Amino acid sequence: MVCFYSKKTYICTRIQNKTAFFKPMSSKINTFRTFIVVLALFFSFLSSSLYSNTQEESPNTEEHHEATATAHDAKLKKEGVDISKVAFEHILDSHYWHFWGEGHDAVVAPLPIIIYSNNRGLQMFSSAKFEHGHASYNGYKLEEEVIISEDSNEKIYDLSITKNVTQMFISMGLLLWLFISIANAYKKTGITSAPTGKQSFFEPLIVFVRDDIAKENIGGKKYERFVPYLLTVFFLILINNVIGLIPISANLTGNIAFTLVLAVVTMIVTNVNASGAYWKHIFLPKPAALWLILMPIELVGVFSKPFALMIRLFANIAGGHIVVISLIGLIFIFESYAIAPVSIALTLFIDILECLVALLQAYIFTMLTALFIGSAMEDHSHGHEGTEGATEQH
């Protein structure tokens, strides 16, 4: 038990040390964000539940302001502006790239649909064929962005190039162009000249990831092996966080599928490179008397760490987007231009905060990945006594 806690405390302290600089700010951000997200979700669920009950009487309300809110919402429903729908259209993935406008004026780019079906094989066509869910094509129809087969026996896998996938390809192209041209700059100008342009902007970031993330958390000579992985994760998250801040772009890093893949890869990398001591710590935790309790806890820890990585990035980015859209939505909820300056000022503030969060979350994800790898690779053969001795002193 002692050992279990000591290990956790150790990691916690390391994380705290790492984030000490950001801590006061990030905790404030998180509290504020959580508050706003809860508020936004409350309103959105309220309005969406109302959407299905528009014809009915307004639900029982305890408080006055709730009643006014529902009255507003009810009025909005009649005019067809559903903020939660708009918000979640922005947050969720889509088979179209919607730029601006509504209904017939909408500027929308259709994206390729790729379907793998168990009895019809691979099929590919444009999402324009669905006519925004109004038409079915080839026996498939699009319902709330989900492709459904009209044949109930058919099992399909939707491998479409969605909005998020498109943005991911764009970001991949950007990353490849950016860093290969930087690599070429090193080859061309040689190492004797000072870095210029892109090179001088990204070199500190690369060195930061190498020295302050990889070397610091993994340590020794072994860290060099993981630097390319950490750099890829860092810049992929960073670039998509930043692109996500542009209004018409997709919300890739705030999508759970994207963060899931990154977290799973981190889990694989961590466990493949784990030392014997790491496995011994999980399956034979000390003291042996508490084996029945500690072993499952340690085993859950193997999965809970990457799970936390997945949720943290997803929730932070998605939450930020919901906050921004909700604030803009205030204009439509209050149906007044007078609220616009407030709304814009708040949005500007949140957007600036999001710029920080974009960098911060990329950093935290990469840093925790490095920390997990580092702690899994740690050789406890001599460190174990030390940890126990330290806890005994406490």
Partner 1 sequence: MNSLFILAGLLEPAIGLIFWTTLTFILLLILLGKFAWKPILNAIKTREEGIQKALSSADKALNDMRELQANNEKIMNQARSERDAMLKEARETKEAMINEAKQKAQADADRIMSTSREQIANEKNAAVADLKKQVAILSIEIAEKILKSELSNDEKQKALVSNLMKDVSLN
Q: 393, 385 in Cβ contact below 8 A?
A: no
Q: Is 183 in the site for partner 1 (CB under 8 A)?
A: yes
Q: 15, 364 in Cβ contact below 8 A?
A: no
Cα–Cα dist 333/342, whole Å: 13
Element (H, E) at 143: strand 140-143
Q: Is 149 in the site for partner 1 (CB under 8 A)?
A: no
> Hey, how many other C-beta atoms are within 10 angstroms of the C-beta on 349?
11
Q: Is 210 in the site for partner 1 (CB under 8 A)?
A: yes
Residues 3-42, mask of contacts with partner 1 (x by CB under 8 A): ----------------------------------------
Candidates 66, 145, 154, 351; binder of partner 1 (CB under 8 A) is 145
Burial letters for 85-105: b for 16+ Cβ neighbours within 10 Å, e otherwise?
ebbbebbbbbbbbbeeeeeee
Nearer of residues 93 and 388 to partner 1, judged by Cβ: 93
Q: Is 70 in the site for partner 1 (CB under 8 A)?
A: no
Shortest Cβ 345–partner 1 spacing (Å): 28
Q: Is 84 in the site for partner 1 (CB under 8 A)?
A: yes
The residues near 294 (Cβ < 8 Å, ≥ 6 apart) are: 1, 4, 285
CA distances from 157 to 89, 94, 262 (A): 22, 15, 21
- Could you tell me the end-to-end alpha-carbon distance of the chain, in angstroms, rounded to an integer? 14
Total residues in contact with partner 1, by rule CB under 8 A:
56
Nearer of residues 170 and 295 to partner 1, judged by Cβ: 170
Q: Is 303 in the site for partner 1 (CB under 8 A)?
A: no
Instruction: Please give, one letter per residue, the 3-state secondary structure of 285-310.
Output: CCCHHHHHHHHHHHHHHHHHHHHHHH
Helices 340-377, 2-18: axis angle to 10 degrees equals 130
Q: Is 373 in the site for partner 1 (CB under 8 A)?
A: no
> Hey, how many other C-beta atoms are within 10 angstroms of the C-beta on 45?
11
Nearer of residues 88 and 334 to partner 1, judged by Cβ: 88
Candidates 149, 160, 270, 369; binder of partner 1 (CB under 8 A) is 160
Nearer of residues 91 and 346 to partner 1, judged by Cβ: 91
Candidates 40, 168, 218, 330; binder of partner 1 (CB under 8 A) is 168
Nearer of residues 87 and 364 to partner 1, judged by Cβ: 87
Candidates 82, 298, 354, 378; binder of partner 1 (CB under 8 A) is 82
- Using the contact rule CB under 8 A, the part of the chain among 10-18, 84-92, 123-131, 325-333 near partner 1 is 84-92
Nearer of residues 19 and 199 to partner 1, judged by Cβ: 199
> Hey, how many other C-beta atoms are within 10 angstroms of the C-beta on 69?
18
Residue with tokens 């764009």: 170
Position 194, amino acid:
A
Q: Hey, what are 79's tokens?
A: 């005019």
Under the rule (CB under 8 A), what is the footprint of partner 1?
A: 44-45, 48-49, 51-52, 82, 84-85, 88, 91-93, 114, 144-145, 157-162, 164-165, 168-169, 172, 175-176, 179-180, 182-183, 186-187, 191-192, 203, 206-207, 210, 227-229, 231-232, 236, 255-258, 260-262, 265, 318
